């Protein structure tokens, strides 16, 4: 593959930046680079970043409850990499892998500790579905696809099993090179303090800003619960995981004002909350965090380097020689837009972020969204 030069681009911090890539890898980064007869992609002064990573989606299209199509939530929306968060388990992830290889978008997966994944809402109510040997086997078979494990810890999922599924997840994690563990939180049981007591540094708490009583904010005091602060200080990572019912503006604003920031910004997107809202796409979720108070440079870092580092995807999320040639080209447009959270609360964005071009592995796709 011949060398390609990205010309006339700028980073979200405002600096001019140009890049040379070939064979899917970045080979040079500088403020200005001479084309010297090489193919040029002219960014026309638009912003660009390392490719956006949506680190919590559901995109195995053969499921019934939560499913979508990788390219419809990925490349077509300015997202170069998606991480499916536990849609499949050990019994069906091989099929998911075969389909994922056909996508233009980079697809990775967190393995649900329940062997069929989310075939039914209560996948952790029957603990015979949690088979550690089977989990270990499939992780060994698909080491480049499975980048973590997932346990959903809310009352509709666990039945009468309390905190036990999470303890099993931690045992599985310990037996599999301490792979990243994402934990879904929702309504009790189990109580959030029980969950955080079991989680460790580097584990990912998703749906961190939900508006439920079992969430991070004490509705009586309007403050973040002290045991949540302790987990945050101890290195538990907080992920947005917007979803249909898991992002609340007031909780996010309360946390922001207290300087408790999400580590990563993700959508928990699937076909229904993409089509009917309130999620729609990653860009809309980014706009919501901007209205909360997050700066654009902070937001871009959380969907590039922070997301890549969280899952040890060290060739992604950065613009530097040797990294993958994945880029998202986008505009910031000063136009108002009404935004709604999972609980029907409204905010008015004053600025929109609009992806216009996506480059994945050195291949360019125009979005014009």
Residue 260, domain extent: 52-310
Sheet containing 181-185: which strands, arranged edge to edge? 52-57, 79-85, 106-112, 146-153, 181-185, 204-206, 237-239
Quick one: pLDDT band at residue 366, thresholds 50, 70, 90?
A: confident
By the 8 A CB rule, do 76 and 367 touch?
A: yes
**Which pLDDT tens digit goes with each residue over 29-60?**
999 999 999 999 999 999 999 999 999 999 99
Quick one: pLDDT band at residue 368, thresholds 50, 70, 90?
A: very low
By the 8 A CB rule, do 244 and 279 touch?
A: yes
> Radius of gyration of the chain from Cα atoms?
20
Q: Do 44 and 59 sit in the same domain of this protein? A: no
Q: Is residue 99 part of a domain?
A: yes
Q: Is residue 293 part of a domain?
A: yes
By the 8 A CB rule, do 248 and 216 touch?
A: no
Distance between CA 321 and CA 323 in Å, rounded? 6
In the annotated binding site for Zn(2+), the residues are 56, 58, 150, 184, 207, 268
Q: Is residue 317 part of a domain?
A: no
Q: Do 16 and 96 sit in the same domain of this protein? A: no
Give the CATH number, domain containing residue 68.
Answer: 3.20.20.140
* Model pTM score: 0.97
Give the CATH number, domain containing residue 16.
Answer: 2.30.40.10
pLDDT at residue 30, rounded to an integer: 98
Q: Do 266 and 302 sit in the same domain of this protein? A: yes
Arithmetic mean of pLDDT, 116-122 = 96
Q: Is residue 280 part of a domain?
A: yes
Percent of the chain whose predicted confidence (pLDDT) is above 70: 99
Q: Is residue 315 part of a domain?
A: no
Q: Do 44 and 65 sit in the same domain of this protein? A: no
**Which pLDDT tens digit goes with each residue over 10-30?**
999 999 999 999 999 999 999
In the annotated binding site, the residues are 56, 58, 150, 184, 207, 268
By the 8 A CB rule, do 66 and 96 touch?
A: no
The number of distinct structural domains making up the chain is 2
Q: Do 44 and 56 sit in the same domain of this protein? A: no
Phi and psi for 33 in degrees, rounded to 5? -135, 130
């Amino acid at each position: 593959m011949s060398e390609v030069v990205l010309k006339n681009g700028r980073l979200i911090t405002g600096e001019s930046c140009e890049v040379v890539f070939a064979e899917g890898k970045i080979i040079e980064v500088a403020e200005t680079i001479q084309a010297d007869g090489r193919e040029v992609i002219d960014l026309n002064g638009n912003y660009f970043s390392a490719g956006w990573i949506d680190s919590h989606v559901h995109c195995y299209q053969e499921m019934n409850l939560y499913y979508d199509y990788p390219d419809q939530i990925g490349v077509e929306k300015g997202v170069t990499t998606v991480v499916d968060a536990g849609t499949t388990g050990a019994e069906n992830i091989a099929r998911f892998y075969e389909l994922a290889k056909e996508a233009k978008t980079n697809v990775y997966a967190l393995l649900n500790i329940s062997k069929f994944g989310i075939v039914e809402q209560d996948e952790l109510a029957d603990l015979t579905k949690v088979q550690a040997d089977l989990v270990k086997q499939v992780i060994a078979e698909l080491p480049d696809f499975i980048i973590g494990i997932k346990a959903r810890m809310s009352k509709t999922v666990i039945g009468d099993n309390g905190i036990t599924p999470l303890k099993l997840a931690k045992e599985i994690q310990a037996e599999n090179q301490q792979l990243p563990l994402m934990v879904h939180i929702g309504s009790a049981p189990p109580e959030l303090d029980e969950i955080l007591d079991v989680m460790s540094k580097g584990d990912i708490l998703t749906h961190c800003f939900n508006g439920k009583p079992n969430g991070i904010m004490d509705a009586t005091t309007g403050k973040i619960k002290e045991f949540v602060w302790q987990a945050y200080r101890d290195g538990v990572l907080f992920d947005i995981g917007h979803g249909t019912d898991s992002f609340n503006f007031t909780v996010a604003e309360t946390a922001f004002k207290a300087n408790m920031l999400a580590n990563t910004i993700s959508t928990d997107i699937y076909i229904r909350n993409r089509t009917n809202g309130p999620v729609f796409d990653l860009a809309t979720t980014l706009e919501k965090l901007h209205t909360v108070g997050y700066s654009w440079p902070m937001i871009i870092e959380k969907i590039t380097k922070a997301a890549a580092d969280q899952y040890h995807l060290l060739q992604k999320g950065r613009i530097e020689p040797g990294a993958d040639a994945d880029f998202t080209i986008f505009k910031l447009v000063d136009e108002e837009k009404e935004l709604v959270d999972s609980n029907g609360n409204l905010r008015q964005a004053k600025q929109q972020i609009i992806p216009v071009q996506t480059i994945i592995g050195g291949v360019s796709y125009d979005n014009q969204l």
